[in-house]
Amino acid sequence: MDKQSFAYTVIFTAVVTFAFVLLLAMANELTIEQIEFNQEVRLQRSVLQAMGVEFQDDEQAAELFERVEQIEVNGLGLYSYERDGEQLYAKEYAGSGVWGTIRGHLGITPDGTRTLGLTVLEHEETPGLGGRIDEGWFQEQFRNKRLVDGRLEMTSRDGTGDFDEDSGEIDGITGATGTSDAMARIINDHLQQLTQALGGAA
C-alpha cells in the first residue's frame, strides 16, 4: 500500500491515536486508586492539622480522622472533633489568590474567639514568593491565634512570622503583597461566616 496515500494516512493516524489513547487510559486506570487514596490522606491530614490535632504518620491520621464528624452549624458545613471534652471545629475555605484558587482548612474554637490552625491544600501562587503560604512558619502563625474584633490583621513586618498568640496579627510574606492581601481577605471572609454561624449558637 502506498504510504503517502490519503487512505493509508487516515487509517494510520486513526490506529496510532487509538493505540496511544488506550495506553493513557490504562495508565490512568492503574493509578486512579492510588491517586484517590493520596487525595483522601491529604484531606484527612489537612483537617486534623487545621484543628491542631497532632499525629505521627498517615496511619495515625486516618485513625484519628475516624472520630472527626461532619456537622452543620446554622447552615455552615464544618468538621468537628472532640479532644479531652473540648470541641474543635474546622472549615474548608477557598478563594482567589493572585494566580488561582487557594484552598485549605481553617480551624476555630467553638466560641469563635481563636483560630486553631490553618492549612493550604491547593494554590497556584508564585513559587518561592506567594507560594510560601504552604510553608510551616506561615501556617504556624494561625495556631491558637486570638481574633481581634472577629478578624486577623495581615501585617508586613520582617516576614519571619508573628507567633504571639494574642496579637491578632499575621506577618505577611515579604515580596508577596498580593498573595498576603488575598489570604487576609479569604481568611477574614471565612472567619466572618464562622463567627456568625457559631455566634448564633454561643
Partner 1 sequence: MSSAAAPGPILRENLWTNNPIFMQVLGICSALAVTNLLVNTVIMTIAVVAVMGMTNLTVAIMKSLIPRKVRMMVQTLIIASYVIVVDIILRAYVPDISRELGPYVGLIITNCIIMGRAEAFAQSNRPLISMWDGMTSGMGYMGVLLSIALIRELLGFGSLFGYQVMPAAFEPWIIMVMPPSAFFVLGIIIWIGKAIMEREGAPA
List of residues contacting partner 1 (CB under 8 A): 3-4, 8-9, 12-13, 16-17, 20, 23-24, 27-28, 31, 34-35, 38, 42, 122, 124, 126-129, 174-175
Closer residue to partner 1, CB minimum distance, 31 or 192: 31
Q: How far is the CB of 28 from partner 1 (least distance, A)?
A: 6
Three cell numbers written together for 90: 474546622
Start-end of H helices in 51-176: 58-65, 136-140
According to DSSP, residue 123 is labeled: -
Start-end of H helices in the chain: 6-50, 58-65, 136-140, 177-201
Angle in degrees, 0-180, between the axes of helices 58-65 and 6-50, rounded to the nearest 10? 70
Q: How far is the CB of 123 from partner 1 (least distance, A)?
A: 9
Q: Of 82, 188, 75, 171, give the one whose Cα is nearest residue 132.
A: 171
Closer residue to partner 1, CB minimum distance, 135 or 165: 135
Closer residue to partner 1, CB minimum distance, 58 or 153: 58
Q: How far is the CB of 90 from partner 1 (least distance, A)?
A: 21
Q: How far is the CB of 118 from partner 1 (least distance, A)?
A: 18
